[in-house]
Amino acid sequence: MATGAQSATASRSVLSVPSVALVFLLLAAASYGALIWAPTENTMGLVQRIFYFHVSSAWSGFVSFILVFIGSVAYLRTRALKWDWLSVASAEVGVAFFTVVLVTGPIWAKPVWGIWWTWDARLTSSFLLWVLFVSYLVLRTLVDEPERRALVSAVFGIFACLDIPLVYFSIWWFRTQHPQPVIGDGGKLDPRMGWALLLCWAATLGVMTVLIRLRYRLEALRSEVDAIRMEAARSGR
């Protein structure tokens, strides 16, 4: 049968009710803070409020991708599949967050600046990061064997994560050399706006943690099923 440690993971619930409740509370507070409590921005009006979710999603997406790096390095050093589960969970959640960034960007840009998309530094970098980690996920679908998949994903994951600062710098410097008339910005930051943003970020970090844990659990369960099948094969079927 599967080892004792693995059974313990299976039977214990991955998300305790208090922690989920806390995340919901954070989200509620953040939404209130962003949509009602924070002052309305002068020039952009109501639609500016989307900035809180736009920026905090980007920051949380970043954290997810850092986790991909950690998982990839850890897998290469320990060859323990759980690090691969962390990597894939974090990559998927990161892509989800950056999808939010790429969707909220145009929603914000259109009413304010009249165009759907601006190739400003932040948005362009977000787009490239999104593409990069979608490639990571596509790579994973094309390798079937779990250990091999974990290995090649870890190597590509490390390269992709090392690329992140290089992507940001090159796009930023390019924009500095070729400035655009329209720049995407959060506008003037009233201190209350700063608090609302931080609260939003805390909420998205909470959502990120919940999602990663759920996804990690899914991989762990899949692996446990495989292990049980393996034991059956080993004892001669």
CB closer to other proteins out of 167 and 218 = 167
From the list 68, 91, 171, 211, which residue makes contact with other proteins (rule: CB under 8 A)?
171
- Closest contact distance (angstroms) between CB of 76 and other proteins is 6
- Closest contact distance (angstroms) between CB of 131 and other proteins is 5
Distances (CA, A) of 154 to 84, 164, 165, 216, 222: 7, 16, 18, 16, 19
CB closer to other proteins out of 174 and 195 = 174
CA distance 202 to 52: 11
Radius of gyration of the chain (CA): 21
Q: Is 131 one of the binding residues for other proteins (CB under 8 A)?
A: yes
CB closer to other proteins out of 44 and 160 = 160
- H/E element, 159: helix 146-177
From the list 144, 179, 181, 191, which residue makes contact with other proteins (rule: CB under 8 A)?
144
CA distance 106 to 131: 17
Q: Is 170 one of the binding residues for other proteins (CB under 8 A)?
A: yes
Q: Is 70 one of the binding residues for other proteins (CB under 8 A)?
A: no
Q: Is 167 one of the binding residues for other proteins (CB under 8 A)?
A: yes
Query: For 6-27, what is the HEC assignment?
Result: HHHHHHCCCCCHHHHHHHHHHH
Binding mask 93-122 for other proteins (x = CB under 8 A): ------------------------------
Q: What residues does 41 pair with on adjacent strands?
A: 45
Q: Is 163 one of the binding residues for other proteins (CB under 8 A)?
A: yes
CB closer to other proteins out of 113 and 172 = 172
Which one of the spans 39-47, 52-60, 100-108, 158-166 is the region binding other proteins (CB under 8 A)? 158-166
Q: Look up residue 198 and give its two tokens.
A: 């931080």
Nearest to 217 by CA among 78, 18, 16: 16
Q: Residue 1: exposed, middle, or buried by beta-carbon count in 10 A (0-12, 13-18, 19+)?
A: exposed
CA distance 206 to 218: 19
DSSP 47: G
CA distance 98 to 39: 26
Q: Is 14 one of the binding residues for other proteins (CB under 8 A)?
A: no
Q: Residue 176: exposed, middle, or buried by beta-carbon count in 10 A (0-12, 13-18, 19+)?
A: exposed
Q: Is 226 one of the binding residues for other proteins (CB under 8 A)?
A: yes
Which one of the spans 49-57, 61-69, 137-145, 202-210 is the region binding other proteins (CB under 8 A)? 137-145
Residues of the shown chain interacting with other proteins in the complex, contacts defined by CB under 8 A: 76, 128, 131-132, 135, 138-139, 142-148, 151-152, 154-156, 158-160, 162-163, 166-167, 169-171, 173-174, 177, 226, 229-230, 233-234
